């Protein structure tokens, strides 16, 4: 089977007939014709490529969620802690309206504590602070052991908490 390869020049269009099979790919450059033989991909190569693509997508989504800009923030009464509500709008949680609380210790600005995900419907950014706790309504950050105490009504564990939250937490159920 013959393939026509068109060769583009500034003077015009030239047509070359070659004895190449349909399995050969021709790349035409202004003064050269490069002939490439395609690699025959086996199932393992395809699965590996797909796995790498999915992991790259997932990693990019998580990185974007962790470094996302906050929608609202408040500073604690002492001025030491910055509390930010960070929305989670991603393909990973397409139909849920979620957010997490990011607390930054201003004395150690590279130290950031991220809560587990919660519904934005229960968001109330009124803050409080005492000797042992800093937080907003429904979410306490315990300073001494650097953990969260969650009291959000109808709170649900989400698989993404394993990737977003970097701080131990305890869910306290209403009695």
pLDDT exceeds 70 at position 32: no
Give dist(CA 127, CA 107) in Å, integer. 19
What confidence tens digit (pLDDT) does each residue in 146-162 have? 999 999 888 899 999 99
Q: Considering only 41-45, 85-89, 147-151, which range has the smallest mean pLDDT? A: 41-45
Residue-wise DSSP of 60-77: HHHHHHHTPPPSEEEE-T
The more confident residue out of 141 and 1 is 141
Cβ proximity of 19 and 2 under 8 Å: yes
Instruction: Write down the domain spans for the chain.
Output: 3-36, 70-171
């130290």: which residue's tokens?
111
Distance CA 96, CA 118 (A): 10
């Amino acid at each position: 089977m013959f393939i026509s390869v068109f060769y583009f020049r500034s003077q015009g269009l030239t047509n070359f007939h070659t004895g190449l099979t349909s399995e050969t790919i021709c790349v035409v450059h202004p003064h050269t014709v490069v002939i490439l033989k395609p690699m025959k991909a086996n199932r393992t190569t395809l699965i590996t490529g797909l796995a790498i693509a999915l992991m790259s997508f997932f990693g990019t989504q998580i990185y974007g969620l962790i470094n996302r800009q906050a929608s609202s923030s408040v500073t604690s009464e002492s001025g030491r802690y910055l509390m930010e509500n960070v929305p989670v709008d991603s393909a990973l949680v397409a139909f849920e309206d979620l957010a997490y609380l990011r607390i930054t210790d201003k004395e150690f600005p590279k130290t950031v504590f991220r809560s587990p995900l919660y519904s934005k419907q229960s968001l109330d950014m009124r803050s409080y602070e005492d000797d042992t706790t800093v937080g907003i309504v429904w979410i306490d950050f315990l300073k001494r052991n650097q953990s969260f105490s969650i009291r959000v009504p109808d709170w649900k564990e989400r698989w993404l908490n394993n990737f977003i939250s970097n701080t131990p937490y305890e869910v306290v159920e209403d009695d």
